[in-house]
Amino acid sequence: MAPGEDGSVNARDRDGEGRARSARPRDGLGRPLPYGAPGVERQPEGVVRSPAETVREAQRLLDAGMPFHAHEVFEDAWKSGPEAEAPLWRGLAQLAVGLTHAARGNTVGGARLLRRGAGVLAGMDEAYGMDLAGLVGWALELAGRVEAGGPVDPAGEAPRLTGPAAGS
């Protein structure tokens, strides 16, 4: 249990509004670490970014092997952007969290989320410079390899969101 502001021990960490928020540090794949352990800086929640900023920040995190954190960036865009764009950002968040689960060794969940995200993005046109068809192909190919049981390096498997090599 974590010590509270007054030094007491709370059963659950809470934010200023009383909502449960884990204060435990996390690793690059979003897994909780013991209190006091060094962790990866967490993505702030609820950040409103332009679509270009969202893609740039998510790519930076994917390239760094932190797909869980990239998923949070996409989730912010999904929740704060126009409702018509929600499926795009939700599908991308599912790809990122699918890569997260695959890298954690959760083959069933990883493959399922990669396929779910690919299904959401399938048939969408290019958006914000992203080759969505290439990302769908990347996700389906990775889902097959994940199910075959191979290890997944999150940085090595990170897709390119934009450019001619998108999805590979």
Q: Give the pLDDT of the chain (168 residues) as one tens digit per residue.
A: 444 444 444 456 665 666 655 678 888 787 787 888 887 777 667 778 999 999 999 999 999 999 999 999 999 999 999 999 999 999 999 999 999 999 999 999 999 999 999 999 999 988 999 999 999 999 999 999 999 987 899 999 999 999 755 565
Inter-axis angle of helices 86-103 and 67-80, nearest 10: 160
Domain extents in the chain? 51-147
At residue 53, the pLDDT reads 96
Mention every residue, 6+ apart, whose C-beta is less than 8 A from residue 146. 102, 107, 110, 111, 114, 152
Q: What per-residue confidence (pLDDT) applies to 8?
A: 40
User: According to the model, what pLDDT value does residue 11 have?
Assistant: 52
Fold of 51-147: Hyaluronidase domain-like (1.10.3450)
**The pLDDT value given to residue 140:** 97
pLDDT score at 12: 61
Q: From residue 90, give the alpha-carbon distance in Å to each of 87, 105, 158.
A: 5, 22, 17
Alpha carbon distances (Å) from 1 to 9, 10, 60:
6, 6, 33
CA dihedral 114, 97, 27, 150 (to 10 degrees): -10
